[in-house]
Chain A
Amino acid sequence: MSDTSFRDWLTADAPASRAQARAAAWYAGWLKLRGNTLAMVGLVVLIALILLALFAPLLATQDPFVQDLGARLKAPGWEGHLFGTDSLGRDIWSRLVYGARISLYIVALVALVAPLLGLIIGTVAGYMGGIIDVALMRFTDIFLAFPRLILALAFVAALGAGIENAVLAISLTAWPPYARIARAETLTIRNSDFIHAIKLQGAGPLRIITRHVWPLCISSLVIRVTLDMAGIILTAAGLGFLGLGAQPPSPEWGAMVSEGRKYILDYWWVATIPGLAIFTISLAFNLLGDGLRDVLDPKEAGK
């Protein structure tokens, strides 16, 4: 199939099959996203970071764990150390590249677990209403009432230190806002005619929630998740700093920042460079999130 006819196939006004209709919807979304320059910048940066993580062994100039106390705290550019070295003489660039794996891993896991939990609790509460709503929402309030880091600390303390447990702890503290959003969305969707219509076909609550309510809630959750990414990375860093997240010597970005904190006045790059990495990834997620808002907003879908 040639290039133009493939595009015609994607933009056809009357798709001939289920697959074509779905592909056309994705293509329309992609075109809209592509029109948003900032979102594309965010997307490119994120893809670059993912590639960085994937090809870490090729891109790293040194072993991220090898210490060289003779070459500690050297400035960026010193003898091939692109970003200099840290307090144990490890190459910061190599640690950054390997650290991208850990940071992205944490982000990806939290981004899956927390919104899903929030989505389930929020939509069930919003759709069922009554006593279920009250119970679930007060439960959510209890979680919201605790400072996030303290709650995560308590979970990690109970579950034991380590990245997986840190992820679990962050997820368990991050879901309440998603539950609130999902519930608010559900309340507006619940009384719309298309929900009434499917009810009149005898559909049960489970089907309505998963097939009809979820697709409309997911978009606002996705947007919120991308905007929360920075916070998630920082919480992970905070846990690492307290010795409850990623364990040294693993090059997690947050842990790198907290290590460099001691030297911030005399050797700025040790903390600043991983800090800039965190800044870049959060900014990229924010830009992408803004673009996705335009593409995914169900209110826009009708236009």
Chain B
Amino acid sequence: MSAIGIRDLNVWFGEGAELVRAVKSASFSVAEGESFGLVGESGSGKSTVLRAIAGLVDSWNGDMSVLGEPLGRRRSAAFYKRVQMVFQDPYASLHPRHTVDRVLGEVLKLHGFSDIDARIDRLLSDVGLGTGFRFRYPHQLSGGQRQRVAIARALAPEPRVVLLDEPTSALDVSVQAEILNLLSDLRAERGLTYLMVSHDLGVIGHMCDRIAVMQHGEIVELLDVAKMRALQADHPYTKHLLDSSIRSIR
């Protein structure tokens, strides 16, 4: 059973003359426990794929399934218990007026857990934050600490699939390293499936087993990471991306 199966997914925004086809018949599948990367430049539709899976986009057609359950227009409560998402900008993904305690407490309550206090402490220590952070507001946290809180929030319902939307692109490189290590550790400990979107081939290469390259809403190439590291891409666009990425770090 694949963790995520996408077949002929189309996503569009607007209508009539304004219609923009953000994703054009994309198909891929992610095995359970795998870490899969979606790479592309801005506007390639990579984040839109994630949002469509998460149910944040209404205008789509095609077949999507997660852990064997086909997805319809509405997501069930069970879906949100199994699939969670981490957003790109940790400054925008936490409510500015809610303390860490309230963020995590509300999520745990929504999923019907009872031992909330103990769980909050455990989640915070799992993401490498002490309990001293529990009653802080987002503005009292650094970018990396905020992203850790966002990861704790995503882990709260004990999901099996985590969607990662550029989780480190707003962070400094040294903080990025910490967050990527944390994500790797959590995957190893909990056997999570990751679907990660990034524009940074270095990050994707570090985190993922297989990648899909997107351009103008289409998946132009699927390749595994060993092939990518050896710079053996078939599609010219992938080659171009790899080339730019290598040249900028030499």
> Which stretch, B80-88, B174-182, B198-206, touches the partner chain A?
B80-88
Q: Is A193 an interface residue (CB 8 A)?
A: yes
CA distance A266 to B56 in the complex (A): 70
A146 CB, nearest partner CB in chain B, Å: 36
CB neighbors of B among A261-303 (8 A):
298, 301-303
Q: Is A222 an interface residue (CB 8 A)?
A: no
CA distance A292 to B93 in the complex (A): 25
Contacts of A201 in B (CB 8 A): 80, 106-107, 110-111, 153, 156-157
CB neighbors of A among B54-69 (8 A):
54-56
For residue A204, which residue of chain B has the nearest CB? Answer: B110
Q: How many A-B residue pairs have CB under 8 A?
A: 88
Q: Is B101 an interface residue (CB 8 A)?
A: yes
CA distance A196 to B95 in the complex (A): 11
> Which stretch, B10-18, B30-38, B137-145, B186-194, touches the partner chain A?
B137-145
Contacts of B96 in A (CB 8 A): 194, 216, 298, 301-302
B79 CB, nearest partner CB in chain A, Å: 8
- Identify A21's interface contact among B93, B111, B135, CB under 8 A: B135
Q: Is A192 an interface residue (CB 8 A)?
A: yes
B97 CB, nearest partner CB in chain A, Å: 5
* A302-B111 contact, Cβ under 8 Å, with A20-B135, A200-B84: no
Q: Is A197 an interface residue (CB 8 A)?
A: yes
- Asked whether A302 lies within 8 Å of B91 as measured between CB atoms, the reply is yes
B168 CB, nearest partner CB in chain A, Å: 15
Q: Is B1 an interface residue (CB 8 A)?
A: no
CA distance A201 to B107 in the complex (A): 6
- Asked whether A194 lies within 8 Å of B92 as measured between CB atoms, the reply is yes
Contacts of A16 in B (CB 8 A): 132, 135
* A298-B135 contact, Cβ under 8 Å, with A192-B92, A201-B111, A202-B111: no
Chain A 93-133: CB-based contact to B (< 8 A → 1; otherwise 0): 00000000000000000000000000000000000000000
Q: Is A231 an interface residue (CB 8 A)?
A: no
CA distance A301 to B156 in the complex (A): 26
Contacts of A15 in B (CB 8 A): 135-136
* A14-B132 contact, Cβ under 8 Å, with A193-B87, A301-B97: yes
Q: Is A7 an interface residue (CB 8 A)?
A: no
* A194-B95 contact, Cβ under 8 Å, with A18-B101, A201-B157: yes
Q: Is B169 an interface residue (CB 8 A)?
A: no
Chain A 11-42: CB-based contact to B (< 8 A → 1; otherwise 0): 00111111011000100000000000000000
With A20-B135, A200-B85, A201-B153 known, 14 other A-B pairs at CB within 8 A are: A14-B135, A15-B135, A15-B136, A196-B87, A197-B93, A197-B153, A198-B106, A200-B56, A200-B84, A201-B107, A201-B156, A301-B96, A302-B91, A302-B138
